[in-house]
Structure 1
Amino acid sequence: MHQVYLGLGSNQGDRESQIARAIELIGERVGQVLRQSSIIETKPWGFMSGNLFLNCAIYCETELMPRKLLEVTKDIERELGRRHKGGAYRDRTIDIDILLYDDITIDEPDLQIPHPLMEQRDFVMMPLNEIKDSNK
């Protein structure tokens, strides 16, 4: 089994329900969710919006390889109403980012692990550190 940390965020619609449903689907399609951070409310990062985000991180174990994990998380985003339009940051119903996958590093155009900007984002690092610290 592989150890995976995912970051989740939502700033459109019923944000709490979107995150809860995403976690449920991740549990069904990726692997058992073993830890979940607190949910925090944050301002948008990288773009202007009047809609605040709810963010959290989860830890799960999976048999999926990184590329398949990316496909499954993107499918979940689409199912929950996320529209991928180019690389610009914008409001979204749900965002699921692969933060860490075991101790591997991948640097491909559409898949970077560890997530390349996570250390610049408190809304990622606060929830991630909360559950990483509790795994020790």
Structure 2
Amino acid sequence: MAHHVILISIGSNIERERYTRQSVVALKQHFSNVTVSSVYESEAVGFNGNPFYNLVARAETDMSVDDVCNILKTIEKENGRVHSAKKFCARTLDLDLLTFDDRVINEPVVLPRDEITFNAFVLWPLAELVPNDIHPVTKQSYAQMWQAFDKQKQQLWPIDFTWS
């Protein structure tokens, strides 16, 4: 079986502590060697809402991209996520597959996810968790990408998060 490395962004702005904890518990049930970045608090982007908690998880799996995406959707649903027509809205839990090995694909999802290059709440945790990993398209490390990022665009800050 092929062994794949996946990076997943995690976000929550409804009962953030609860769902942030739940997400990692759930990821550990489905994937192996799960590690996570610090938790960051950021202002809601694209709509007026409560601040988000964001972090990035790295995990390993033998599943296909399709199966990983389905698992992430299932975890969201199990944690009260309601998928509405509105792209920007409050949510209990948002899990997005950021990368799957070094694949560059458009189906069943776009990988690597565009957000990596323009959202501080994705790039900063990546730069912290896997600083030397290379982005499959920019060919830069996440640390280099974060260093070059315009940090005035979005406000976010690492927080002390209690996992238990």
For the criterion TM > 0.5, the same-fold answer is: yes
> Which of 113, 122, 125 is equivalent to 1:124?
122
SS of the equivalent of 1:129 reads: helix
Give the equivalent residue in structure 1 for 2:18.
17
Identity of paired residues, percent?
Answer: 30
Tell me the distance in 1 between the aligned counterparts of 2:113 and 2:86. Answer: 15
Structure with higher RCO (Cα < 8 A, 6+ apart): 1
CA RMSD after TM alignment: 1.6
Tell me the distance in 1 between the aligned counterparts of 2:104 and 2:26. Answer: 25
Give the equivalent residue in structure 2 for 1:60.
59
Matches within 5 A, 1:1-80: 1-13=3-15, 15-33=16-34, 35-49=35-49, 51-80=50-79
1:85 aligns with 2:84: yes
Deviation at 1:135, TM superposition (A): 6.9
Q: What is the aligned length? A: 132
Deviation at 1:87, TM superposition (A): 5.0
CA spacing shift, 1:20–1:135, aligned 2, 3 Å: farther
Tell me the distance in 2 between the aligned counterparts of 1:53 and 1:2. Answer: 29
**Structure 2 spans left out of the alignment, 5+ residues:** 135-164
SS of the equivalent of 1:7 reads: strand
Deviation string for 1:82-134 (max 9, x for gaps)? 001125110000000111110001213x6111112221100000001111127
Deviation string for 1:54-74 (max 9, x for gaps)? 000011111111010000000
- Runs (4 or more) in structure 1 with deviation over 3 Å come to none
Letter in 1 for 2:40: I
**Computing the radius of gyration over CA atoms, which structure comes out larger, 1 or 2?**
2
Tell me the distance in 1 between the aligned counterparts of 2:105 and 2:55. Answer: 23
Q: TM-score, normalised by structure 1?
A: 0.90
Tell me the distance in 2 between the aligned counterparts of 1:134 and 1:56. Answer: 17
Between Structure 1 and Structure 2, which shows a larger proportion of strand residues? Answer: 1
Q: TM-score, normalised by structure 2?
A: 0.76
SS of the equivalent of 1:126 reads: helix
**Structure 1 spans left out of the alignment, 5+ residues:** none
Tell me the distance in 2 between the aligned counterparts of 1:114 and 1:104. Answer: 7
Between stretches 83-92 and 38-47, larger displacement belongs to 83-92
